[in-house]
Amino acid sequence: MHELGIVFHVIKMVEEVGEKNSLTSVARVGLALGEVSGVLPDYLQDCWKWAVQKSDLLQGSVLDVRRIDAVTVCNACGKTYGTVAHGKVCPHCGSADTVLLRGNEVELEEIEAK
């Protein structure tokens, strides 16, 4: 379960930002999660609820997860398409010479202080 490791990393980053900005309490943390990141949002939420109870700054805070759709570009025809629906093979020309553009990220987007 790498979700717990991700949560610990996010908490550490938020605590560092909190210290630099003299925050006393955080209400919400916004996270962008790629569709093919391999991170399970339900597990992430469960880990968050457990882990933030151990942080004075984040206790009771909410994790707001925004999904980023996975998009792939075909190097042969230059068109983009939904990765999950079509996989590695381009639905426009049939080429497998493709590259994932987005959808595997896990990014801290915002911190809302109380």
Tens-digit pLDDT profile for residues 69-84: 999 999 999 999 999 9
CA atoms of 44 and 65, how far apart (whole Å):
9
Is 93 labelled as part of a ligand binding site? yes
Is 47 labelled as part of a ligand binding site? no
Is 74 labelled as part of a ligand binding site? yes
Give domain limits for the chain.
Answer: 3-69+103-113
Please give the angle made by the CA atoms of 43, 85 and 110, to the nearest 5 degrees: 45
Q: The whole model's pTM is what?
A: 0.86
Is 90 labelled as part of a ligand binding site? yes
Q: Which residues have a Cβ under 8 Å from the Cβ of 49 and sit 6 or more positions away? A: none
Percent of the chain residues topping a pLDDT of 90: 97
Q: Read off the pLDDT of residues 45-99 as tens digits, 9 standing for 90 and up.
A: 999 999 999 999 999 999 999 999 999 999 999 999 999 999 999 999 999 999 9
CATH of 3-69+103-113 given 3.40.50.720, 3.30.2130.10, 3.30.2320.50, 3.40.605.10? 3.30.2320.50
Angle between helical axes of 41-51 and 3-20 (0-180°, round to 10): 50
pLDDT of residue 114: 84
pLDDT at position 1 over 70: no
Residue 109, number of CB atoms within 10 A of its CB: 11
Percent of the chain residues topping a pLDDT of 70: 99
DSSP 76: T
Mean pLDDT of the chain: 96
